[in-house]
Amino acid sequence: MLIINKLEFSQNFRSILQQAGQIPPLPETARELLKLRNDPEANLEQLTGIIEKDPALAAFIMKYARMSIFGYGSRINSVHLAVSLVLGFNTALNLALGITSSGCLKLPNHGALGRIRIWNQALECAALCRELCHVMTEKHLANCDLLYLSGLFHNFGYFLFGHLYPKEFSYLNDLVTRYPEQDARALQLQVFGITHDTIGMYLIKAWDLPEEIAVAVAEQNFPDYSGKHAPYVKLLAIANRMLHDDTQIDGCPYIDTLSLMDCLGIDPHTAKSVQEKVRGCRNEFHMLAQDLAA
């Protein structure tokens, strides 16, 4: 059994997270995509050009665009069609950014916190965040593209944990796999004194991604958060709760999901329809997650 000094481990981990250069930099393709994302003059041809340089990424983008949720199926036979006809520039770019970003971080494929499970959760959460954003009446509160990225990156802290501390992460993965009824975040605090949401926040900041994503990732377990970018935190919390059938998975049992929806102008019946729409694609999300772990 691995013996861990919780206080010492937590302090060492936080020290690494706060040091410039200790977190792996974004891979080159991800940097190109981020630069494109910040360019108001960016166009479709530039994006497809970057994606097509990576055959595995290009294949994934096309497979994602063929999902039943979009309704185009095998008619999507090129990256250009996947982006222009189905996903749109921003979703395609954000999806590609998330995929290429994780490429520099090592993680075991299997287990409750393995790469397959983490990607499965990320893809589902991002899709539900996007769909919920589309049905919000208070659209001025948040940007749908940033909400999609928040969902995609919400558990990337696990990637960095596994990359920097493979032995300790393997132990955590085994614990969460063996005790599925236990709250994974509570186990992290109990054993290591640090959690994936905190780790994820440092990762997002080190990669210079938008502040909205860093806040959403850091505060996702506290939907009572009322600071800057609070709508992103609340919508991410709603998505996570709905993906877990509204079971209490965050730190605010006294705030019900309906109250959070009301803050953002989301009709509960419409949200239920959106939930079923995303849930109907679970097998496809799982296959996509397996592709990302190959």
Confirm if 99 and 60 have CB atoms less than 8 A apart.
Answer: yes
| CA–CA gap between residue 30 and residue 54 (Å, rounded) | 11
| CA–CA gap between residue 62 and residue 73 (Å, rounded) | 10
For residues 177-185, average pLDDT: 90
Which of 53, 66, 139, 144 is closest to 100 using CA atoms?
Answer: 53
User: pLDDT-based confidence at 20, cuts 50/70/90?
Assistant: confident
pLDDT at 263 over 90: yes
Two tokens, residue 26: 């974004």
Give the tens place of pLDDT for each residue, 207-232.
999 999 999 999 999 999 999 999 99
Confirm if 254 and 268 have CB atoms less than 8 A apart.
Answer: no
Tell me the one-letter amino acid at 42: A
Question: Residue 294: its pLDDT value, please?
Answer: 80
Tell me the one-letter amino acid at 240: N
What's the whole-model pTM score? 0.94
User: pLDDT-based confidence at 65, cuts 50/70/90?
Assistant: very high
pLDDT at 249 over 80: no
Residues 6+ apart with CB under 8 A from 281: 67, 68, 69, 127
Distance set, CA 204 to CA 105, 133, 177, 201, 261 (Å): 13, 22, 26, 5, 26
Confirm if 212 and 229 have CB atoms less than 8 A apart.
Answer: yes
Mean confidence (pLDDT) of the chain: 94
DSSP conformation class of 26? P
Two tokens, residue 38: 């910040």
Render the burial of 131-169: b for 16+ CB within 10 Å, e for the rest: bbbebbeeeebbbbbbbbbbbbbbbbbbbbbbbbbeebb
User: pLDDT-based confidence at 116, cuts 50/70/90?
Assistant: very high
For residues 183-193, average pLDDT: 93
pLDDT at 251 over 90: no
